[in-house]
Structure 1
Amino acid sequence: MSEPLVSLLVPIYNVESYLRQCLDSARNQTLEDIEVICINDGSTDSSPDIIREYMTEDPRFRIIDKANSGYGASMNMGLETAQGKYIAILESDDYFELDALEKLYYAAESCDAQVVKANFWMYWSKPEERNEPFALVTEEMSGRLVNPQIETDIFYLKPSIWSALYRRDFLEDNGIRFLETPGASYQDAAFNFKVWASATKAFFIQDEIIHYRQDNEASSVNSPSKVYCVCDEYAEMDRFLGNRPEKQCLKPVEEKMKYDTYMWNYDRLTEPLRRDFILRFAQEFKKDIESGYVDLGLFDSWKRDDLTALMNDPILFHARREAAEDESYLSKIQKFYRIGGLSLLIRALKQKIKS
């Protein structure tokens, strides 16, 4: 197939339990002029056999077989292979509404948008099937062209790169690709940032177009081994802006994003990973503030206070956060002592006296 309307990229790695539901939703799209590029990242289960079943039944399906090298490498290979006017992404444990691509395509065509973004469903298949709408796109944003260089609040939305459609020439002209780090995750973060940092014509619709699975235990969000992958993504954003001097005005926006992402990552971790990460967190923000990249005026007042506290004494900040829900004073003291010994207890007491 040459020059379809949409190239749908489906990155696949050991998802045999969910793959048929995903590929069925692609095959049955009401927008028929599409190609479905399945990038098999060295799966060791029956996923490749399932892909080939669909290829036999539907010539729009294609497969890229590659050794396991990670999500970013898979997506970049898909982007290089795609022939469509537009690019869409479907994660292999999610599935589309049947008119998803049609809605995205006609929205893009109606106003010559570089990007179209939609809402989605948070989806659970067990213990019983459940969908909850995620209102990423507000009524105020919906149905109009938005320039992300002016309306920068868009940068703070959940990345959800799979609830969108992208002009392929827009991605190519701006050098928008994924970070290729083997074994990494959260590689939607830098890709999403590059999109908003480059786009001047984004269109938003409120329709929920995709079911975003929450109960895949193999998902990278559930892996404590991915502690510093978010740091890699923000280093990639730094690189992207560094090569584009005209985009340096977006550095404070990136720093605000970075704070929220790092805090989210910190809160999801368990000990001793949390303690290690907060030290990295503090170190990076001290450097960024010294470099003049951080605009504290963009932060809510309580976030400014938290950022100041964690930079001044990251271990004390960590201990207070760890002990916040302990009911007894004795249990708080025990936790402080376990985290930082007597010296931490003394620092906490001195700060309490000052306040």
Structure 2
Amino acid sequence: MESNLISVIVPAYNIAEFLPRCLDSILNQTYSNLEVIVISDGSTDGTDNVIKEYAEKDSRIVPFFKVNSGVSDTRNKGLEIAKGDYIGFVDGDDYIEPNMYEILLNNAIENDADISHCGYQMVFPTRVDYYYNTGKKVIQDNKKGIRDIIVGDYVEPGIWNKLYRKSIIENVFMPVDIKNNEDVLFNFYAFTKSQKSVYEDLPLYHYILRKGSAATSKVNTNKLYDPIKVRKEIFEFCLKNYDKEIQSLAYTSYLNAVISLYRTIKNNKLKDEKNNAKKYKNDIKQIKERLPLSKRTKVEKMLFLHFTLLHMFVYKVYDKFISKNSNKYEVK
């Protein structure tokens, strides 16, 4: 197994304080045949010095320094450099369990899987939420992998808890024009190329939430429409390439993204965005494909399209009194 080289791509932008913990967790893996590509995305806070220090101490570190161009372009640069048989991603302010890559690679080899992935833990300053730590193992053929990545009910659409066989993502890159949900689109196309995937629900990745991190930042109107663009592209791809069942799931995902946009605009009082949002609502109206939608989706669609204000009020009540995930990323 040690003959398989794993390339781990670590984007780093102004995280000198957190990067040592991340790199230590990778270099101390129980699986040691690693190439750790650490890319500074135009950092100005001492991150570059941390990378240089680690490169001097461990030959497995591959340092790269470039002008700032965003995390997607940074990860794409890593994909260009990577020489491994398998590819993994770790964000520079997160860290991983010591045996994560050993477990992921074992599962990939034992099951001849193109993608091997695991659960994760979301680490807040005062608590840890586990997703989901059931220990179960799921084998996914091509269709089930597509289904699970679209629905996202237990399989995380992020890229950092996965190990990819390099051959299936040689022509798959992060979309540089998408700043939010870009990993969803990358994963979707990776799963379309994966004949078999394996998921083991162990929380081996530590996803750190802190004030000032990307996940906890306030609403950025420049990124507001990205999730809709991603879900629309996925839906359109599924219309051309998959059966009615998958098309229906992709349509529901697209609908939910539009509804989520309306909720974000209302909850954050972004009145200037209302006209921009209407074109996506109209697009939902104009989709005429006869799809086997669930009863819940049919009701949701009817309420949203014809009784939007009532629909928003119902969601407001739901968020306040029932939902446990409405503030999933909130750091107090």
Confirm or deny: 8 A CA contact 2:209 2:215 kept in the other structure.
no
Gaps of 5+ in 2: 321-332
Gaps of 5+ in 1: 327-355
1:190 to partner: Cα distance: 0.8
Instruction: Give the equivalent residue in structure 1 for 2:103.
Output: 103
Confirm or deny: 8 A CA contact 1:149 1:199 kept in the other structure.
no
1:108 to partner: Cα distance: 0.4
Instruction: Give the equivalent residue in structure 2 for 1:259.
Output: 255
1:305 to 268, 281, 299: 299
Q: Distance in 1 between matches of 2:35 and 2:79?
A: 12
Confirm or deny: 8 A CA contact 2:116 2:198 kept in the other structure.
yes
1:205 to partner: Cα distance: 1.1
Instruction: Give the equivalent residue in structure 2 for 1:45.
Output: 45
1:313 to partner: Cα distance: 4.8
Instruction: Give the equivalent residue in structure 2 for 1:213.
Output: 208
Instruction: Give the equivalent residue in structure 2 for 1:334.
Output: none
Confirm or deny: 8 A CA contact 1:251 1:293 kept in the other structure.
no
Q: Percent identity?
A: 25
Instruction: Give the equivalent residue in structure 1 for 2:268.
Output: 271
**SS at structure 1 position matched to 2:17:** coil
Q: CA distance change for structure 1 residues 25 and 325 in 2, over 3 Å: closer, same or farther?
A: closer
Confirm or deny: 8 A CA contact 2:210 2:216 kept in the other structure.
no
1:294 to partner: Cα distance: 7.1
1:176-255 correspondence to structure 2 within 5 Å: 176-181=172-177, 184-225=179-220, 226-237=223-234, 245-247=240-242, 250-255=246-251
1:202 to partner: Cα distance: 0.8
Instruction: Give the equivalent residue in structure 1 for 2:166.
Output: 168
Instruction: Give the equivalent residue in structure 2 for 1:329.
Output: none
**SS at structure 2 position matched to 1:145:** strand
Deviations 1:74-104 (A, max 9, x none): 1111111111000111011210001111110
Q: Residue type matched to 1:35 in 2?
A: E
1:71 to partner: Cα distance: 1.7
Confirm or deny: 8 A CA contact 1:120 1:209 kept in the other structure.
yes
Q: Distance in 2 between matches of 1:294 and 1:213?
A: 42
Confirm or deny: 8 A CA contact 2:149 2:187 kept in the other structure.
no
Instruction: Give the equivalent residue in structure 1 for 2:17.
Output: 17
1:236 to partner: Cα distance: 4.3
1:316 to partner: Cα distance: 5.7
1:278 to partner: Cα distance: 6.4
Confirm or deny: 8 A CA contact 1:122 1:132 kept in the other structure.
yes
1:324 to partner: Cα distance: 8.0
Could you state the TM-score of these two structures normalised by the residue count of structure 2?
0.81
Could you state the TM-score of these two structures normalised by the residue count of structure 1?
0.76
Instruction: Give the equivalent residue in structure 1 for 2:151.
Output: 156
1:292 to 261, 267, 288: 288
Q: Distance in 2 between matches of 1:80 and 1:293?
A: 39
Q: CA distance change for structure 1 residues 293 and 79 in 2, over 3 Å: closer, same or farther?
A: farther
**SS at structure 1 position matched to 2:105:** helix
Confirm or deny: 8 A CA contact 1:12 1:39 kept in the other structure.
yes
Greater helix share, 1 or 2? 1
Q: Residue type matched to 2:85 in 1?
A: K
**SS at structure 1 position matched to 2:304:** helix
Instruction: Give the equivalent residue in structure 2 for 1:353.
Output: none
1:319 to partner: Cα distance: 5.8
Confirm or deny: 8 A CA contact 1:197 1:247 kept in the other structure.
no
Q: Distance in 2 between matches of 1:316 and 1:277?
A: 19
Q: Distance in 2 between matches of 1:170 and 1:189?
A: 16
Q: Distance in 1 between matches of 2:27 and 2:290?
A: 46
Instruction: Give the equivalent residue in structure 2 for 1:73.
Output: 73
What is the root-mean-square deviation of aligned Cα atoms in Å?
3.0
**SS at structure 2 position matched to 1:224:** coil
Confirm or deny: 8 A CA contact 1:194 1:240 kept in the other structure.
no
1:111 to partner: Cα distance: 1.6
Deviations 1:256-296 (A, max 9, x none): 222334444554554322x566665553254245333573x
